[in-house]
A and B are shown apart, each in its own frame.
Chain A
Amino acid sequence: MSAPAHAAPAGLPPGDSSGARESITSWRPVDRIGLGLCWAAGILLCVIAAAIVVYMAVRGLQYLKPELLTRSPQTGLNQSQTGGFLDPLVGTFILTVLGVSLAAPIGVATAVWLTEYGRPFWLARLVESGVEVVAGTPSIVLAIFGLIIFQQHLFAFLSFTAQGNAVLGRSFFAAGAMMSLIALPLIVGATREALQAVPGHLREASYALGKTRAATIRRVLLPAARPAIGTGAALGMGRIVGDTAIVVILLGASLQLEGAGGGPVVSTLRGTGSTLTSYVYNNSPAGEGNAPQKAYAAAFVLLLIVIGLNFLVGRIARGGKEQAWTR
């Protein structure tokens, strides 16, 4: 076909090049108002987003100094002596890695089972509802639930045990486990969607070559779903990085990383600490530290991390589209 303008309905005067375009002057007023509201809503959202970024950048950059990133926090009344937020930064990193590395395998496994097996039907429905419940549970509820669980003596090895045999129940392990529940539904959802998008004839092509279901999943379906798994994991990371409730309740109240013994890495993971979110909370006027300048600086860093993760999601998703194979 030549130019699409020529496909315009007959009856239009020849040579009217705008004929294919619909003019909104012919719309009813209510539709025009609706369209105006749509425009306004979109623009408002852009303005709000820009305001957040610009405001945080102005306030944050004002107080952000390189040494804040390299020094541990100290307690003190004088803001100039309370150190930086190295420990919260490390804490955020540890918690994110821990949460995602727990959530990714479980999430992918769940998605594979749901899409490729999903029998018996009632069990699949049950698993689906389970994922939905986890997705819908507020993180503060997950945190309280986690505290109950990890204070059991059974899980004493995952946190600090005080004298008198009381289990603290607060540690990177405990917080990481609950954080993984936040990321899990996102990974399950993204992976399921990707697996469902794999056309049935591709599965059949693999079966027709005498491949087992397991081989098909490993060599055909999971590689096809890889970009989506990446997207889901990055989205989950964003949620973990931004969560405060679980950190405040399950990571202990120590601003610094405090090991709980049992080997160099394990000690840290069993110990308590903080993240950027809890640091911001602590130092905001609402918290105990009352060092709003540092709160702004840390909040800006947090915002940068989350924006960076969002950017990553976009990149992964686009990369996935380039190798799209559904035609």
Chain B
Amino acid sequence: MDPVTPPPIRRIVVDDEPTVVGPPPAPPANGHVGGPGSPAGVGSPAGVGSAPGVPAVREQRRRSAPAVAAYERMRLEALTIAYAAKPAVRGVTLPVRQGEVLALIGPSGCGKTTLLRSLNRLVELTPSATRSGRITLDGDDVDGLEVNRLRRRVSMVFQQPNPFPMSVFDNVAYALREQGSRRPSQSELEPAVVDALQRAGLYDEVSADLQHAALRLSGGQQQRLCIARALAVRPEVLLLDEPCSALDPRSTATIEELIVRLRSEVAIVIVTHNLQQAYRIADQVAFMYLGELVEYGPADSVFGRPREQRTRDYVAGAFG
């Protein structure tokens, strides 16, 4: 082979998602890109509109899991979090509602992940972190709840798929078992484990061998296993910290569908760098910049008719 020949380009074929690779639908000037059933006045998203087929995928996601009436589960009030003397989140007030996907967007280091980690008090694991303001879950201050109970109610999935070095079954069962004990037994847990795997859309792929080592699964399967593990404890709120950033487009599509489908059973908060992903799956979007909440509102208006200049610049890809 001639040494200067560049390596061949490999194309990723997403065969069951033709809309993803299709040409972008030309949005009308003041356009209504939404199909029937979408709220009136849906604007063409300024930044994400240039991506091929994102609105179409959004519609597809919406249709596959129609929205239900949303109601508030968690609320952040004047939340400020600092690491040592450096504030990461400044005075954020935000509701988290069940029946909706809330996406936190913003450039790196804007405090999205810190904010997410404060919802289940995981931020407390960082010794230098200090917090002020109030976070409530169903009206109760989370500081008043026993932390491990809180974390079972507000469960979390991380950026890097991190299954435990055990079997698929044990990964989910670990979440279900009482702290360190081995009880209840495997047979008693089986229905709950299967149910969690089904809800995470992984069961069909692993049903043949639940004792399969979790680390031998593909990255996308591992991440869905982590979602199954988080769902197994029947949480009320599910926190997702860039769950797809380490995954290929196909696994990402699977997980996005899953997230939209799950939003009727749990309140979902997702941190994402990917604006198109936020637009595809989110009902509400919160844009953060330098620790402040700049804009919060329905996805269509944040992307389509941002009120703030900073939001407009960001969704246009100015400083992402």
B175 contact set on A, CB distance < 8 A: 209
B125 contact set on A, CB distance < 8 A: 204, 207
Interface size range on B against A: 20 to 34
B120 contact set on A, CB distance < 8 A: 208
Cβ–Cβ contact A208 & B179, under 8 A: no
Interface of A is mostly: helix
Closest chain A residue to B150 by CB distance? A210
Cβ–Cβ contact A219 & B174, under 8 A: yes
Interface membership of B64, Cβ < 8 A: no
B226 contact set on A, CB distance < 8 A: 205
Interface membership of B148, Cβ < 8 A: yes
Given contacts A201-B158, A325-B215, contact A208 B149 (CB under 8 A): no
Cβ–Cβ contact A219 & B180, under 8 A: yes
Interface membership of B263, Cβ < 8 A: no
Cβ–Cβ contact A210 & B149, under 8 A: yes
Q: How long is the Cα–Cα vector from A65 to B122 in the complex, in angstroms? A: 65
A204 contact set on B, CB distance < 8 A: 122, 125, 158, 162
Cβ–Cβ contact A2 & B180, under 8 A: no
A212 to chain B, nearest CB (A): 6
Cβ–Cβ contact A323 & B179, under 8 A: no
Report the count of interface residues on A (CB-CB < 8 A).
28
Interface membership of B33, Cβ < 8 A: no
A2 contact set on B, CB distance < 8 A: 1, 7
A20 to chain B, nearest CB (A): 10
Residue of A14, A206, A219, A323 ringed by the most chain B CB atoms within 10 A: A219
Cβ–Cβ contact B179 & A211, under 8 A: yes
A218 contact set on B, CB distance < 8 A: 180
Cβ–Cβ contact B151 & A208, under 8 A: yes
Q: How long is the Cα–Cα vector from A201 to B7 in the complex, in angstroms? A: 35
B305 to chain A, nearest CB (A): 36
Q: Which of B5, B156, B174, B213 contacts A208 (CB 8 A)?
A: B156
A214 contact set on B, CB distance < 8 A: 179-180
Q: How long is the Cα–Cα vector from A223 to B174 in the complex, in angstroms? A: 13
In the complex, the 3 A-B pairs of residues with the closest C-beta atoms, listed nearest first: A210-B152, A215-B180, A210-B151
